[in-house]
Structure 1
Amino acid sequence: MTDRTEGHGGTAVAGAAAQDGGGEPMVRVEDLSRTYGTGAAAVHALRGVTFTVPRGELVALKGRSGSGKTTLLNLVGGLDTPDGGSVAVDGLELAALGEKGLLELRRERIGFIFQSFGLIPILSAAENVGVPMRLRKEDPRAREERVELLLGLVGLADHARQRPGELSGGQQQRVAIARALANRPALIIADEPTGQLDAETGHAVMELLRAVVRSEGVTALVATHDAAMLDLADRVLELNDGRIVEHV
């Protein structure tokens, strides 16, 4: 398994995770609730959601639009704050971290993959993959070596100098997967990563993500409508009207 604390410089989040996370599931969600708005206009996005994601597994989250999938991913990723309940990632209670701690957690321990790819248009594929390491001020030589390794891992070694506009949708998502792995995260959070891809390309991307979970020793929580993705998952959670209604 990849040593995901390597190069983190003994940061508080990385150190605490290494000390406290060994016996914990990668993600622990307990009685989580989130409501937007008030009164008659209130939207109850999540209602008492509880589940765990074991380390090293790919867990798929399915449900119709509006079922609460994106809200749940945002809460697990520390991008939003729940109204009730708790979230722990890699042994760390998110509510105890504060803004600085959450920023560090997202930068050091979580890799995000989005439906819209989220690549920087003026940067090459290699430069996009290297952005998280630049933000962390990683040694340039180590950064370049890591970028080369990751582009090879996702099958884009020959496209390092191309910009996103010169790549297909599937290739852009592969770059996004490589970028998500740049800082050796403990957890990958992916929100509809095949949503803009045709069925064949989407299946190839999901098979790649499945292989990456195995080869990099990471955990993944993936929201998807893609039936092929559900087949590749270790476990499937179904959300309906803000509640977990099925564990498969």
Structure 2
Amino acid sequence: MSEQSGGHGTLADIGTPTGEMVVVEDLRRTYGSGDTAVHALRGVSFNVPRGELVALRGRSGSGKTTVLNLVGGLDTPDGGRIILDGTDLAGLGDDDLLALRRDRIGFVFQSFGLIPILTAAENVGVPLRLRKVPAREREARVGLLLSLVGLSDHADQRPGELSGGQQQRVAIARALANNPALIIADEPTGQLDADTGLTVMDLLRAVVRSESVTALVATHDTQLLALADRVLELRDGRIVEDV
């Protein structure tokens, strides 16, 4: 990971409270200006302990995706502070943010985001190729992950040959490829029927336990919220409930 000059920190220059993977303090984000400004976040604060699955719930426009984008380093807040696995994101330059997203965060999206022309195994292996992991090591890791999500028998199938639930399981395996500290999932069951969605959420919970990772998941499905260790409810850019 690159060192940054000109005041930028490195990826391990700050400590977090014991047991906290994510620390968010007074987070604010506004899009646009003047009369058309949208105040997406209005002072959001919360902590996510290591090894927990924390769910964000709220109506469309409540700020869930904005929180995920900011915590994942995909967007920059207008105010407040985010500390991820000991790193204050405000102190990172572009190269270090890229390295953090690549090495320490796994992303799972509602739309799956698989590459159509690649097989399930090849999709899972993409992050490992980007890190130039040797072929033998890469193949072993891909095989382990496909087994973990119950898709060993589908390694050579392309996304178009898989069901929606199977595609999302491939996406979860891909998110785990680089042994991330944090999984960020935005409506991961949004395109799935209720039963399949519950199966995928069960898998996410099992992965958090077996792989010792932390997960921050946005979902509107009340059935799935029961599987989370904690639920944060967002309304109009503020957290109104933490249970």
TM-score, normalising length from structure 1? 0.93
Please tell me whether residue 219 in structure 1 is matched to residue 214 in structure 2. yes
Change (3 A) 1:117 1:52: same
Q: Distance in 1 between matches of 2:12 and 2:54?
A: 21
The 5-angstrom pairing of residues 101-180 of structure 1 reads: 101-180=96-175
Which one-letter code corresponds to 2:241 in the other structure?
E
Contact 1:32 1:82 in 2 (8 A): yes
Which residue in the other structure is 1:35 paired with?
Answer: 30
Matched residues, number: 238
CA distance in 2, matches of 1:144, 1:11: 27
Match of 1:205 among 176, 200, 205: 200
**1:143-182 deviation digits (Å, cap 9, x = unpaired):** 0000000000000000000000000000000000000000
Determine if the alignment matches structure 1 residue 69 to structure 2 residue 64: yes
Moved over 2 A (4+): 10-13, 15-24
- Contact 2:11-2:96 at 8 Å conserved across structures: no
Separation of aligned partners in 2, 1:87 and 1:150: 30
Deviation at 1:188, TM superposition (A): 0.2
Deviation at 1:228, TM superposition (A): 2.3
Residue 41 and residue 106 in structure 1: after superposition, are their counterparts in 2 closer, same or farther (change >3 A)?
Answer: same
- Is the 2:16–2:83 Cα contact (8 Å) retained in structure 1? no
Corresponding residue number in structure 2 for 1:190: 185
In structure 1, how many angstroms separate the alpha carbons of the residues matched to 2:242 and 2:135?
A: 44
Superposed, which structure 2 residues align to 1:84-99 within 5 Å?
84-99=79-94
For the aligned residue pairs, the C-alpha RMSD in angstroms reads 1.7
2:181 and 2:96 map into 1 onto residues whose CA distance is 16
CA–CA distance in structure 2, aligned partners of residues 199 and 47 of structure 1: 32
Counterpart residue type for residue 192 of structure 1 = E
1:82–1:62: structure 2 CA closer, same or farther, 3 Å change rule? same
Q: Is the 8 A contact 1:60 1:229 kept in 2?
A: no
Name the aligned partner's letter for residue 210 of structure 1. R
CA distance in 1, matches of 2:111, 2:180: 21
Q: String of CA shifts for 1:1-37, please: whole Å, max 9, x gaps.
A: xxxxxxxxx7779x95498458251000000000000
Change over 3 Å in CA distance of 1:129–1:12 after alignment to 2:
farther
Structure 1 CA distance for aligned equivalents of residues 186 and 62 of structure 2: 13
User: Equivalent pairs: percent with the same residue?
Assistant: 75
**TM superposition score normalised by structure 2:** 0.94
**Contact (CA 8 Å) 1:129, 1:176: kept in 2 or not?**
yes
Where does the alignment leave 5 or more consecutive residues of structure 2 unmatched? 5-9
5+ residue gaps, structure 1: 1-9
Distance change (3 Å), C-alpha of 1:98 and 1:203:
same
